[in-house]
Structure 1
Amino acid sequence: MPFNQFDPISFNHIKHTFPLLDSDVSVENTIYYLSLLEQFQQLHHTFATHLDTFHARAELRYQAWIQGCQKRIDNTSSSIIIPPIDVAYMSHAHLVSPFRFYEDCQRMMPHMLNFPMPLKQIHFQRNAPNRESVQFWTSECAKGRDEPFILTIDDMNQQLPGYQECPLCKKCFKISSHDYGRWRTDPTVYLKCWYCDQEYNIHDAAVEQIVNDLSREKQPTEKESAWIRGTMLNNLGMIKKSVTDPGTESVIQRLRRTIGHSPPSSSSSSSINQTSSSSVSSSRAMIEFIEKSVRRKTTSMYDIEPILLRQLHFRALEQEYTSEEEKQKQNKIKDLAYAMNACYGNNPSPFSLDLIQAAKRQHKEGIRLLKEHWLLPDSMVLGIRRYKNFLLLINYHHHDQGGGMNVDSSEEEDDGYYLIGSRTTADVDVTWRTHMLFPNQYRQFTLRYLGRVMNHEDPIPHYQLEENDNIQRSSVRRYSTLLSRRRTRNHHSVSRVHPRPSFGLDYTHGSIVVDDPIDSISYYGDSDSNGSPMTKDIPELERKSAEIKRSTISKFKDI
């Protein structure tokens, strides 16, 4: 159905019966989210012949939006100011990757954590943005540049507004939107600087991003620590102590100590510990390593890992490491190399996520979601209730594995955590995505009730998305079976594991009745009007669970 025609007034007489989670996860907002996906689909249709140029231009405009938002004072979801739809397209790809978004907020844009996606406003202003939005864009975001609020095909054939900086000589020059789009999306395309006369591709620019992060100017009270993308957060989605605690070693300091060596007569060596002077910081030593061993000497971020491993081997020979010690250090280097490749690989932007690739991937997911058969408001009601069950299931699985709730742990592992999150029904996925578009609320809610920020990953490779049209049906079967199994297994420990089995006043189940075999086995029950848990008889729950399991198997026996 076309969600652009949705009018919330039609739900006024039953709105009080709808479920609500964390104040922003509502039936209306999930519909507004699908309306937003429709607008993204229309964007792709409009720029179908210039997609590379469009994505490159949208990424630059998103950066301009972030800079402009530093001067905003209206940081609520009721703000009348909306971003251009192409900016919202890139922002959406950023927001649905909570770890990378939060890391970028800590690195360069702390103010953006307080600016949720204005779903309702974008829905109602889809054809005519208001004067305040256009004025804010013109005066704060596109100041000094001829950057329109609404992009058109004609803009794809013009020069980029402003100037682009050469990553090698730091001089600025003019470039056409088409040429920039080809360069930004194709690592085999090189640009030639007008000033230094050197050619460079996106990998060369990405290497300079590493140098920029290493040489970032620090505050006087800030720890001597390089903010390397992909290494700042622990498994709980919180900043590592090694980044903030003055008494701990940073990742660069550990790397320097692990692989640094000074072989005899190696004045031109590319060792990460090139100088023995104690006045040279670990960041400076890493910069020297990048300049001598990586810059202009590699063709991709994959080349960094063998270089670092070679340095480790020299160190192992010098220090006489055992094979087990060397293997442990190799694994740490591989983890760092993986993070650097994931965050810097062919990514010349300042973000820890390649937003262009992420946006393309999310667009494929959006098409899949829009193809679903949505019944309003029932589908959204079920989505919110199932999402609540999904969160409780994640929490229960976490406790069941003995993970505990220690939010200060940086080494905690939970192998099944992402497995459960890897397959969700379409209605749960839409609700989850809607929740993530309110970044501060999502972060606080998951930390409070799950003890960790629940990351959102795309386990299905980009090239396989179109081949999984039946994922919804198989996901329902897996989700319902898993929910039934979790309810009947070790049920006597439920009260011990979950002294407060629901989300208290942050969740309202609603009184609207929607037939749903999955939701009916909510093994934690729901809260009453006062937010207190409602207890249920264990034998009765087991009987219902068995009935639902039989009906579910019967329902999906032909799948």
Structure 2
Amino acid sequence: MTYGKFSAPPPVAPNPTHFPKLNGVVTVENCYYYLSFLERFWTFMDTMTLQEQRHYLARAEVRYEKWIHNHFSPMLVPPLDIAFMWHVHKLSPFRCYEDLVLRLPCKKLFDDPLPLYDLFKNEDLTPNDLKRWKQTFGEDEPYHLTNQNMYSGTFQRPCYRCRQVIELPWSNYYDYRFGANHTRFPHDCAPVDGINFWDVARMKLESDLMNGPVVAGTLLNPNGSVKVTLNKMIAKIRPIQVIIPQNEMDYAYERQIQEQLKFLGPDYEYDANELLYAIRTSYQGNPSPFSNDLIQAVARQRKFYSNITSIHWQYPISYMSAIRRYHDHLALIKMHPNHKAIPTIEIDVAFHTHMMDSLRYHKFTIHRVGKLINHDDDIPESSIRKHLSEWQTLWSNLQHRSIEHRYKFTKTRATDELVEGTLKVTPSIFPTTYQPGMVRIRQGKEARNLYTTLNEELVRSNNTKATMISIHSKGKEK
């Protein structure tokens, strides 16, 4: 299979300080490898019918679950489908931390970055690696999942309540996972009536309410830190074992919560709303062990991929601009923590690349920005337009304020046409973690505002109008 725009090896920087980089993760090379990874996945997806794509994602989700429970060091490079599920899990920093560190748990998988370079190389497994794969995942689980082999074997997962294995043909499971089949099948938990996957999702919540509790969506504070005192409402409700109709689990629990609030009073309202929202977003119709529906998350990423491929990514200028703007985006969040931050497409690429190293991203945003920055790709369009307008106003206002940080330019080389130099942020917003890199300015223009130069650079590289100006302030030559 061939794929095009991001398949060639990226050029090497002429010197270690030439390209900007942030936190040792957001580099020009990693942004390029990330785009290549997206291109490879969606190019492969486009070889299948819509039904095959759905079946592929349903099995990929289960394979990622197996990967979590068998992740050890040294581990193989994940196959494409597992890597993409791991990737969309990382794109939800709150839920990823809750799942891999607090609920399932598999902290090592949280600590490990997605191996973007190894995925870019796309090398075949050695015979020893293939042997290790089969020893770990079994003969019926192929390393490369395709539309030809994704029906081999059977779906198997322990029941959330009794731990007896639920086993079904893959074709049956695919219908259950996408809601095309709700018929009951025999299982020890319900020897008379059997169960379906509405029951599986219900028993998942039941298990999390009773064990710990470890209810997804209630374990972290709004700033991303782990709660010392867990949600008070959880102890006040009881698991509901019969829900009619089955697809209204959230309403069944809402009625119980409202009854409890009559006696508990307003001190419990925040916890009640948090718990109800968690049930709706993490459990309703989601039989997987994960707190967010990874299949739906993959579907949302298709639009993102379409957006990024509409841009002409000129290497390395576009990537350098994206990293600088991402730095400024984070700086603006630090200055205005209560505003909803809406990134542009190029900022979002750097943002996604940063999240591929969950451990570093988690530490950086909490300690340097002041909170764990969540990534919400499920905001309604009307809300996006409102938040984007407010965010753009903040950006545009910053260029007129002398108290904010500036990019200062130091000339290192000059020709008849160009002046080349290094950038430095003063005062430094993220000391020791950000390298602004170098920039070239047309001769005679070195005294002009750097924010103008850098924005023009982005316009030229992308052949599109810049949608958001940078907070780069006036550059001064030393």
Q: Which residue of structure 1 aligns with residue 351 of structure 2?
A: 432
**CA distance 1:450–1:187, shift in 2 (3 Å):** farther
| Cα 1:386/1:131, change in 2 over 3 Å | farther
- Take 1:481 and 1:329, find their aligned partners in 2: how far apart are those partners? 37
Residues in 2 aligned to 1:518 and 1:442: alpha-carbon distance in whole angstroms: 31
* 2:22 matched residue in structure 1: 21
**Distance apart, 1:18 and its partner CA:** 0.7
Q: 1:353 to 1:237 in 2, by over 3 A?
A: same
Separation (CA, whole Å) in 2 of partners of 1:435 and 1:200: 41
In the other structure, the counterpart of 1:114 is 111
Q: Does 2:323 correspond to 1:388?
A: no
2:461 maps to what in 1? Answer: none
Distance across 2 between alignment mates of 1:43 and 1:385 = 32
* Matched letter for residue 431 of structure 2: G
Distance of aligned partners of 1:24 and 1:255 in 2 relative to their CA distance in 1, 3 Å threshold: closer
Residue 228 of structure 1 is matched in structure 2 by 215
Q: Does 1:7 align with 2:9?
A: yes
**Which of 171, 178, 182 is 1:178 aligned to?**
171
Residue range with higher mean Cα deviation, 444-453 or 326-335: 326-335
Q: How does 1:447-526 map to 2 (within 5 A)?
A: 447-461=366-380, 481-489=393-401, 491-492=402-403, 501-513=428-440, 520=451
Note if contact 2:243-2:252 (Cα within 8 Å) is conserved in structure 1: no
Is contact 2:451–2:472 with CA below 8 Å preserved after alignment?
A: no
Cα pair 1:484 1:521 within 8 Å, conserved: no
Q: Residues 313, 68 of structure 1: CA spacing in aligned structure 2 closer, same or farther, 3 A cutoff?
A: closer
The structure with the greater share of residues assigned to helix is 1
Cα offset, 1:114, TM superposition: 1.7
Paired residues of 1:382 and 1:519 also in contact (CA < 8 A)? no
Work out the CA distance in 2 between the residues paired with 1:492 and 1:89.
42
Please state how far the C-alpha of 1:228 moved relative to its aligned partner. 1.1
Distance change >3 Å, CA 365–CA 493, structure 1 → 2: closer
Report if aligned partners of 2:254, 2:276 keep a CA contact under 8 Å in 1.
Answer: no
Q: Which residue in 2 is equivalent to 1:125? A: 122
Look up the SS of the partner of 1:488 in the other structure.
Answer: coil
* In structure 1, distance between residues paired with 2:352 and 2:182: 35
Q: Distance in 2 between matches of 1:85 and 1:444?
A: 27
Q: Map 1:19-418 onto structure 2 (within 5 A).
A: 19-48=20-49, 49-69=51-71, 71-73=72-74, 81-104=76-99, 105-107=101-103, 108-125=105-122, 128-131=124-127, 133-140=129-136, 142=137, 144-160=138-154, 163-165=156-158, 170-172=163-165, 174-186=167-179, 189-193=182-186, 196=191, 198-216=193-211, 225-242=212-229, 250-252=230-232, 254-256=233-235, 272=237, 289-291=238-240, 294=242, 298-312=246-260, 315=263, 326=265, 329-398=268-337, 414=338, 416=339
Bigger fraction of residues in strand? 2
Q: 1:168 to 1:449 in 2, by over 3 A?
A: closer
Determine the C-alpha separation between the residues in 2 that align with 1:211 and 1:328.
24
| CA RMSD in angstroms, aligned pairs only | 3.5
Partner of 1:239, secondary structure, is coil
Residues 92 and 235 of structure 1, relative CA distance in 2, 3 Å threshold: same
d(CA) in 2 for partners of 1:185 and 1:114? 31
Equivalent residues of 1:37, 1:370 under 8 A apart: no
Structure-1-length-normalised TM-score:
0.68
Q: Distance in 2 between matches of 1:427 and 1:170?
A: 45
State the Cα distance separating 1:202 from its structure 2 match. Answer: 2.8
CA–CA distance in 2 between the matches of 1:192 and 1:349? 18
Note if contact 2:398-2:404 (Cα within 8 Å) is conserved in structure 1.
no
In the aligned structure 1, how far is the partner of 2:259 from the partner of 2:134?
51
1:384-427, Cα deviation, whole Å (9 max, x unpaired): 111111111111113xxxxxxxxxxxxxxx3x1xx2x2x22211
**Deviation of the 1:51 alpha carbon:** 2.1
Aligned mates of 1:492, 1:334 — CA distance in 2: 40
- Number of corresponding residues: 428
Mapped contact 2:219–2:226 kept (Cα < 8 A):
yes
C-alpha displacement at 1:52, in angstroms? 2.2
Query: Amino acid of the residue matched to residue 513 of structure 1?
Result: R
Q: Normalising to structure 2: TM-score of the pair?
A: 0.79
Indicate if the aligned counterparts of 1:50 and 1:156 stay in contact, CA closer than 8 A.
no
- Alpha-carbon distance in 2 for matches of 1:122, 1:485: 41
The answer on whether the counterparts of 2:23 and 2:433 sit within 8 Å (CA) in structure 1 is yes
Cα distance change of structure 1 residues 190 and 44 upon mapping to structure 2, 3 Å threshold: farther
Could you list the runs of 5+ residues in structure 2 that have no partner in the other structure?
407-424, 454-470
Change beyond 3 A, Cα 1:12–1:130:
farther
